[in-house]
Chains A and B, each alone.
Chain A
Amino acid sequence: MTDLATKPSHPPTRRPGRRSYGTALTHTVLLVGGVVMVMPLLYQLMMSLSSNAEVQSVPPSLWPERLQWHNYADVFSTINFGHQLYISILITVIRVIAQVLLASLSGYAFARMRFRGNGVLLAIVLSVMMIPPQIYLISQYQLIHQLGWLNTVMGIVTPGLATAFGTFLMRQFFLGLPDELEEAARLDGANPFQIFSRIMMPLARNGMFALGIMTTMWSWNELLWPLVITTDDTVRPLSVGIANLQGQYESEYPLMMAASLMAIAPILILFIVFQKRVIAGVARTGIK
């Protein structure tokens, strides 16, 4: 968008030499930096296809002599990867659906409904957003324990079904939508839920999408809560499984690399496909 708007305003006739010199320098800097950023992942890919001896060789071997594709199959036969993957998908899907729905409802109420206590409740929600979640981990743990949900998907998932962040994000999003449509629907006699579901929710698609993607990333990558709430391998998601690999398979480096790459892959693919919308969503939370 900005490209189109600004292209004509930079006539290439002005100081062409300097501009192309600067551009080349910019690209060099960005490319070198970018390679540094992804290098650990490329290195991980390389190690995942190496033999264990190659990973531990000095100097480091830059390319495996024979590509050990079986390392990826070994992940499934050695550790409980398939099951952990299933748990990760399950908790992420549940959280995304709940978050998007509940945050839209509450965000809409805060943005568009006038009721006594709106300001106070919003202040409470914002204060929850500011408390680092690790701090009340013990009490949350006790609560889940009392509910009998330790070592259950229910226990992992429930506290994350709604977040203050999601509510705030959706509130900001609804605040930015025009009033007119809503007013018209109200005059036509639609009730608040109809206005919300038929008119405002479709308009808020982008915000919901951004929240959904962010919830996916957060849920998929989360370590501390599922680590604390589970001891049983059958309900542990990939994040915990990967963290435990290094204790259990201390020196099976290629196996560890293959497993952690596979754990990263789904989010990485999702990110690359929806890159623009993820960035727009994250950026929105920061600026307005």
Chain B
Amino acid sequence: MSAPPTARSSRSAPSTDAGQARRRSRRLRGSPLWPALFLAPTLLILGVFHLWPGVQTLWYSFTEWGAFGGTTFTGIANYARMLKDPEIIRSFLNTAVFTLIVMISIPIGTVLASMIERPGMRFRSLYRTLYFIPFVTMPAAVAIVWKIIFNGDFGVANWLLSLIGISGPYWLSTPPFALIAVSIVGMWSAMGFNLILLSAGVREIPRELYEAAEIDGASPLRQFFSVTVPLMTPSLFFVTIITVIQAFQQFDLIFIMLGTNNIALPETQGLVFIFYAQAFINNDKGYAAAIGILALVVIGLLTMLQFRLQKRWVHYD
């Protein structure tokens, strides 16, 4: 991640070897006092409250916590236990399903963004406001409404289904439906954020390309697939990365919509939720730490995989 900025700066200002050497020597000569002053508060907080706890978590993942506070080193026992724990495997599948459903917001968002940002579009800020509202609202507060919408007895979801002759389930306590309900809410709340990023992507597309396409007689649909989508692949890539990372970190919606005693939890909870439950409800902190590390590794691998695959579909100008 530290590579792109240097690559960009060298591209935008092609400098001679002599220039580079001069810059390097100045870098080495600079007094460390000022940078240290500027960086100290941030690095202190990041180091003490983020980086060090991260390292410590790795250590915790190899320990078991006794009832009275002591920790004993248990090697890879926690990891071995995880591999055999059906709850962990299940939570992986839950997270995967949740992520896939939330990702539906990306294609829908792409279409909506290209509509909203169309040249000469009227009421643009009205639409932006409408669509971005879920992004700014407190998850805890909106999850409460969705909980009522999905209520099995008097919820609107089942009332709508009853209009077409379907008697709806008790969404939030029946296994496959609880996950679907939470994922729909996840998709709804991801839409706002994704739309902002995708809209920015649409705005970067040079308008001349559309004019050229129009002169060639391309229909709006054709323009969307031949101009908008290919030129938005960098934004789509970024949005996909962020969506996957955030979906893997989902906690709030499950916590509020299902609570901590719901019978549908095993087939709904994601990795972070199970981590929370193990750490702060079961007080099994060593095991929880191992789950956390696993989540980190999985998110890292998925992100790396996406960076690998981007060569196949992302086009940078």
Q: Which residues of A are interface residues toward B (Cβ below 8 A)?
A: 2-3, 5-7, 9-10, 14, 22, 26-27, 29-31, 33-35, 37-38, 40-41, 43-44, 47, 55-60, 102-103, 105-106, 108-110, 113-116, 118-119, 121-126, 128, 130-143, 158-159, 161-164, 167, 175, 191-193, 196, 217, 220-221, 223-224, 228, 238-240, 242-243, 245-247, 253, 256-257, 260-261, 263-264, 267-268, 271-272, 275-276, 278-279, 282-284, 286-287
Q: Please, which residue of chain A has its CB at the minimum distance from the CB of B141?
A: A260
Q: 21 A-B contacts, Cβ less than 8 Å apart?
A: A40-B146, A44-B145, A105-B39, A106-B43, A109-B35, A113-B30, A118-B27, A125-B42, A128-B46, A159-B45, A159-B49, A164-B50, A221-B137, A223-B252, A224-B252, A228-B280, A239-B140, A263-B138, A279-B199, A284-B200, A286-B200
Least CB distance from B254 to A in Å reads 11
Given contacts A35-B130, A221-B140, contact A47 B148 (CB under 8 A): yes
The DSSP consensus for interface residues of chain A is helix
Q: Is the CB of A139 within 8 A of B56?
A: yes
| Residues of B contacting A123 in the complex (Cβ-Cβ under 8 angstroms) | 1-2
Q: Is the CB of B154 within 8 A of A56?
A: yes
Size class of B's contact patch? 35 or more
Given contacts A125-B46, A196-B38, contact A245 B115 (CB under 8 A): no
Q: Is the CB of B196 within 8 A of A279?
A: yes
8 new A-B contacts at CB < 8 Å, known A35-B130, A242-B140, A287-B235? A41-B145, A116-B32, A126-B2, A135-B275, A141-B280, A143-B53, A193-B37, A260-B140
What is the CA–CA distance of A137 and B60 in the complex, to the nearest angstrom?
Answer: 12
Tell whether B51 is near chain A: CB-to-CB under 8 Å: yes
| Residues of A contacting B203 in the complex (Cβ-Cβ under 8 angstroms) | 2
What is the CA–CA distance of A122 and B130 in the complex, to the nearest angstrom?
Answer: 37
Least CB distance from B228 to A in Å reads 14
What is the CA–CA distance of A205 and B144 in the complex, to the nearest angstrom?
Answer: 37
Given contacts A118-B27, A221-B138, contact A56 B145 (CB under 8 A): no
What is the CA–CA distance of A242 and B145 in the complex, to the nearest angstrom?
Answer: 12
Q: Is the CB of B136 within 8 A of A58?
A: no
Interface string of B237-255 (1 = CB under 8 A from A): 0110010010011011001
Given contacts A40-B146, A221-B140, contact A139 B153 (CB under 8 A): no
| Residues of A contacting B52 in the complex (Cβ-Cβ under 8 angstroms) | 139, 143
What is the CA–CA distance of A36 and B39 in the complex, to the nearest angstrom?
Answer: 45
Give the number of A-B contacts (CB < 8 Å): 320
The stretch from B93-101, B174-182, B287-295 touching chain A is B287-295
Q: Please, which residue of chain B has its CB at the minimum distance from the CB of A1?
A: B203
Least CB distance from A97 to B in Å reads 12
Q: Which residues of B are interface residues toward A (Cβ below 8 A)?
A: 1-2, 5, 9, 23, 26-28, 30-32, 34-35, 37-39, 41-43, 45-46, 48-54, 56-57, 60, 112, 115-123, 125-134, 136-142, 144-149, 153-154, 156, 159, 162, 188, 191-193, 196-197, 199-201, 203-204, 207, 211, 214, 220, 234-235, 238-239, 242, 245, 248-249, 251-252, 255-256, 259, 272, 275-276, 279-280, 285, 288-289, 292-293, 295-296, 299-300, 303
| Residues of B contacting A260 in the complex (Cβ-Cβ under 8 angstroms) | 138, 140-142, 144-145
Q: Please, which residue of chain A has its CB at the minimum distance from the CB of B156?
A: A60
Q: Is the CB of B127 within 8 A of A34?
A: yes
| Residues of B contacting A278 in the complex (Cβ-Cβ under 8 angstroms) | 132, 136
